[in-house]
Structure 1
């Protein structure tokens, strides 16, 4: 059975807005988007009246820790950092996610329907990231893609964590050395594996080296946690030394190297933005920085780094960035199609167009207006959240009790 979302102000993101537009959905996918007169709605289609609302794709959080840092659970719900091995490439965020984390329900209330969940920044190499939907019974039900990238960290966090253990790395030199040593070993491993295959010899596989080999092969991008300009320069240096695809995460001082990042076409997932300057490497955090990067030609996405900023406030970071100079079109793209493309999941999410998942959010008004709210949220065509005007609270469908 089809569903037609009709009569709203449709913002496809990858296309011009449509007053009184229609989004036609079947089998969890978008079938057509356009003016109502141009979309052939089946007679038996369920009609969702979107009159008076803005209709957008679900937002994409490209760097969050939902499910691996569970809300209000204390230490028992923290599975974000395995800080016993500086090289955790074999670790998978997928294995630590609790779908029942309150953070996923918060995400829906803010129109966020896809989250790229990443290991934390305690290790120089943290592990594999995963893209999931914000609703489902198990992480396998929620899966968009796994792995999406490999998480790595430069700067203060890993040197502090291992410095307290009196173990390598205790300095920025040591952090870079751990990453460099890992890739050299991965290069040797890859050559040895290829030789064994050619010669028909047995070969003992290594999960850590297999993952790093995929990075060297260009199959997986490298998500590099880096705030300070010198760490960003180190991230670029390492990526060029080993030839892997670099995605900067945080990029707090990226605006100081905006021309370099634009010339090298290195995307930046920037944020969190509405936080205190809690440590030295974020002292230049400012809401104007996304606009500076965008005007220089850098591809940007915004992140809450949930739970650093609650994930439902993703759109508010965009609003505040607009206040400080980011253009409105880029602001919306920075939480929809840009993160989807940067993370390689734009074949599933990030826009309203035929063939993509039917992740659709009806807003009471322009989502960049802080007074607007998500009133109805659909994930793959299923309504999973609505705002109850009578109680003033959102209502999330229970994935464990489906019709």
Structure 2
């Protein structure tokens, strides 16, 4: 084997190991460190990561870097970016039938479909997101069915889904509006039927749909049929117990109002997803007091998204409505977007840089319930870092390095 071949072989091996190796001890130093935590922006700051967790954050003058520790440097350092809602890993970049697992349209209500059973950690879109600074993704089944399945939280690294997994069964995905209507004579054919089917499913889960029917709790067994379990009802019971939120994609004002009515009727946690008409009902959303995962800023303004706007993120921030941005899902290739660019367009259209970065770091982490681990650079949190050679929201800037739990997973300038 000649020297050139050996060099390429070594590089390929290093690239593979970068997504699977154990955490290392490392320090990251930046001319500016945007912690997105109590320390705010630190000039000439340092983040020390040991055993995969952050052990020190502060000005370089105050933080002692252990002797011999590898030090990475960049003009701008931020927390690893968090995508609040995606289908990456289920939606493959080839756009072929064998890599499109984000939606099973064989039935309108399937809350028991688990994202962990369909996720491909080696899909090129996962690598694409990782190289652009996205270290944590809330991904799973997408819109297009009344209840399409479950979501999970993963890191954009790992040789297996188990290695990438942060949390399984994070939310159950629902969809109100025309995307989830069956126009071929099946159900649901109207918005009213959508809600009737959702109510029926929730009532069945709490044992109220048919008093004569035996509804088993999680782990319970029918004495006459010990193997019997109803996975659909078990999934909905977790919603009714307040353990699992319903993530409802609703763009039109009438569908958002319907989702809020459902939350009140069953006293369940609902997170509004998409919300193209959110700026038309600010008072209602403020009174509701919940959280919104806003549609991608650059989503195509057609159909249900005809009222989507570049400025909606800024409007929600000004109104004090908690929100995060997402890459989302589209039926057209490449099926998923990049939250860094979505936030950049939002910042260019009135959202402050601080709020823009929060929408894809700490605010996104809060909405998906992972802010105890990710979203900010604080002692005790995961050592997830993104490095930039300039303003993260400037088109000419690049992501120059990415660290996940102390492991350098990308050094490509993207």
TM-score (norm 1): 0.89
- 1:49 is displaced (CA, Å) by 3.0
- 1:113 is displaced (CA, Å) by 0.9
Tell me the equivalent position of 1:163: 183
Query: Could you say what the CA RMSD is over the residues aligned between the two structures, in angstroms?
Result: 2.4
How does 1:77-226 map onto structure 2 within 5 Å?
77-159=99-181, 162-164=182-184, 166-188=185-207, 192-193=215-216, 204-226=228-250
Does the Cα contact within 8 Å between 1:10 and 1:17 map onto a contact in 2? yes
- 1:277 is displaced (CA, Å) by 2.0
TM-score (norm 2): 0.87
Higher mean displacement: 150-159 or 37-46: 37-46
Structure 1 counterpart SS, 2:206: helix
Does the Cα contact within 8 Å between 2:216 and 2:230 map onto a contact in 1? no
Does the Cα contact within 8 Å between 2:91 and 2:335 map onto a contact in 1? no
Give the direction of change, closer, same or farther, for the CA distance of 1:66–1:76 in structure 2 (3 Å limit).
same
Does the Cα contact within 8 Å between 1:112 and 1:312 map onto a contact in 2? no
Distance 1:49 1:262 in 2: 42
Cα deviations by residue, 1:227-271 (Å, 9 ceiling, x for unpaired) = 000000000001110111111110100111112112221111111
Count of residues paired in the alignment: 383
Tell me the equivalent position of 2:312: 289
- 1:300 is displaced (CA, Å) by 0.8
- 1:122 is displaced (CA, Å) by 2.0
Distance 1:332 1:73 in 2: 30
Does the Cα contact within 8 Å between 1:2 and 1:44 map onto a contact in 2? no
Give the direction of change, closer, same or farther, for the CA distance of 1:195–1:340 in structure 2 (3 Å limit).
closer
How does 1:311-390 map onto structure 2 within 5 Å?
313-387=338-412
- 1:85 is displaced (CA, Å) by 1.6
Tell me the equivalent position of 1:72: 94
Give the direction of change, closer, same or farther, for the CA distance of 1:284–1:143 in structure 2 (3 Å limit).
same
Distance 2:346 2:196 in 1: 36
Structure 2's unaligned 5+ residue stretches are 1-23
Cα deviations by residue, 1:176-230 (Å, 9 ceiling, x for unpaired) = 1111111011111799547997x99987431111111111111111100000000
Structure 2 counterpart SS, 1:233: helix
Structure 2 counterpart SS, 1:41: coil
Tell me the equivalent position of 1:391: none
